[in-house]
Amino acid sequence: MSFTEQLRERAVALGFDGVGFCSAEETRYWDEFLRWLEQGYAGTMQYLPRRCDAYRHPDGVLRGCRSLVMLTLAYHSGPAAPVRPGQGRVARYAQGSRDYHDIIRAKLKQLAEWVRQRQPEARVRGVVDTAPLLEREHAERAGLGWIGKHTLLLGRERGSWFFLAALLTDLILPETSSEVSRHCGTCVACLEACPTDAFVAPYELDARRCISYLTIEHRGPIASGQREGLGDWVFGCDVCQEVCPWNRRAPKAEHPDLLPRADLAPLDLIELLELDEAGFARRFGGTPLERPGRSGMLRNAAIVLGNQRATESLSALKKVLHDDDPVLRGAAAWALGRLATPEARSALESRREVETDPEVQCEIKEALNHPARL
């Protein structure tokens, strides 16, 4: 068995379900990437333009890189659980008991050590979506699928419900024999289903309008015109994947820490609003939901409750209306305006008398102008 075959076998034994090899080359999408950044589609994700040059070639991640081992790990957990008023949807990749970064990095560390034991002079580095690497392009060249119209990597057998990881090395490895071709055809289901019209064209996403960006990466208030589009999503979004025909046969996650936690599928938003900083850290530390922080998650929860007109959340929203964080006070004011009950309006009137933050004052004014419920 060749070294490459042994490497593939070892990766599968570690739990990766897709393995492909490609040479380290300058990205073919460089001009498109620059244009995407220039359009402002990255929003506030300043780490992208800040490290822009590093994305041009894998050498920016591992100096002297000659080959990449591209890897996939399934996280699909089956049909989404129904959501009732007072609950919010969490993207499937984040429903597990551990952060996928920790799970995959542990596997990459073992795979890198396996390579070093057999090739002591080799330089190796494993990465999972935090390094300046255009993983989808390299995975496409490695034969693991094609970049779909929703900008995610798609495979005939695995759909798009998987994580991507890479092992970079200065070894020269034989490339996976593949002919890159796209199989989306005339289908535009993902583009039409997006609740916020985040796709400006096939294969082109304006992250500033994407629910995943708004609920995870964006800091501060979410623009009032974008709040209804969040629907029930409190963290991330799966809509474009749920409607994709290629995901009908996608395999399910096998790693136990990627299987859905009962308290995340769906998430109780009223309980979430009760958490202080320490409580939030205890509950969500070490999971993907830690990334937006308490401010981001409670902001999202208030918006979802406002979208649902969840009157059972009234007491919790009234409490958040007096939080130290003005972002949360503003979101709670908006949600109470959507409830528009006499008690909600009374809470807004009382807060208006003592509110000092100009933006929150505007939120309260707009909330009180919302039509009252009959």
* Cα distances (angstroms) measured from residue 187 to each of 249, 305, 319, 352: 17, 33, 46, 50
Cβ atoms 181, 271 nearer than 8 A: no
Identify the segments of the chain with pLDDT beneath 50: 374
Q: Tell me: the pLDDT tens digits for 340-358?
A: 999 999 999 999 999 999 9
pLDDT of residue 177: 72
CA angle 153, 157, 158 (to 5 degrees): 50
Contact, 153 vs 182, CB < 8 A? no
293 contacts: CB under 8 Å, gap ≥ 6: 280
Return all residues near 346 (Cβ < 8 A) that are at least 6 apart. none
**What confidence score (pLDDT) does residue 374 get?**
47
pTM of the model: 0.96
Which residues are designated catalytic?
Answer: 129
List the chain domain ranges.
Answer: 3-76+98-169
Q: How far apart are CA 207 and CA 34, in angstroms?
A: 15
Q: Are strands 18-23 and 67-74 parallel, antiparallel or unpaired?
A: antiparallel
pLDDT at 347: 98
